[in-house]
Amino acid sequence: MLALDSCVTATTSFDLWVSISRHDTFALVINFIYSQWVPYHVRVGLFEAIDTSKVVMATQVKELLSLYNLLNKLIVYVKEKGGNLSTLAQAFTYVVNYGPLTLVVPW
């Protein structure tokens, strides 16, 4: 992804759906400022979590971040409420060394 090549620092956010097969489906979104202060939101992965344990989810996330050379570029993740979104956020502690940005409703 050409836009990600210019990414120096970024944040991550997640989207969550339940698939037809009743498994949680996560989208991993990278948010960053591109040249000339243009905001970008790039979905780098979509995965179905049959096993929602922290270790399994951390492995899936790490593979996605490594694929796009993002492990050392992330500075914060946006944490929303929700059981498995919280589990995914906790899984990040196994993968990267940064913390959550918790948004107070209404944001």
Count CA within 13 A, CB hemisphere, residue 7: 25
* pLDDT tops 80 at residue 104: no
Residue 25 φ/ψ region, left for φ over 0, alpha for ψ in the -120 to 50 degree band, beta for the rest: beta
CA distance 39 to 33: 4
Model-wide pTM > 0.75? no
Q: pLDDT tens across 1-37, in order?
A: 566 777 888 888 777 777 787 777 888 888 888 777 8
Nearest Cα residue to 54 out of 33, 31, 85, 76: 85
Show Cβ contacts of residue 1 under 8 Å, excluding neighbours closer than 6 positions.
42, 44, 68
pLDDT value for 20 = 80
pLDDT value for 81 = 63
**pLDDT band for position 83 (cuts 50, 70, 90):** low
At residue 52, the 3 state secondary structure works out as coil
8 Å CB contact between 24 and 18: yes
Q: Average pLDDT over the chain, rounded to whole?
A: 76
